[in-house]
Amino acid sequence: MTEKEKAKAGYLYNANYDSEIVNEIEKCTDLCYEYNQIKPSDEENKNRLLKQIIGNLGENAKVTAPFWCDFGYNLYIGDFFYSNHNLVITDGAKVEIGDHVFIAPNVCITTAEHAIDAEQRNAGLEVAKPIKIGNNVWIGAGTVILGGAEIGDNSVIGAGSVVKKDIPPNVIAFGVPCRPIRQITEEDKKRYPQYPKDNI
* Per-residue DSSP letter, 155: -
Spatial distance between the Cα atoms of 14 and 140, rounded to a whole number of angstroms: 32
85 is catalytic: no
**Cα distances (Å, whole numbers) of residue 178 to 13, 57, 159, 165:** 28, 28, 10, 8
Distances (CA, A) of 181 to 143, 148, 174, 177: 16, 21, 7, 12
User: How many whole angstroms separate alpha carbon 107 and alpha carbon 100?
Assistant: 17
In the set 114, 129, 132, 164, the catalytic residue is: 114
Q: Which residues are catalytic?
A: 114
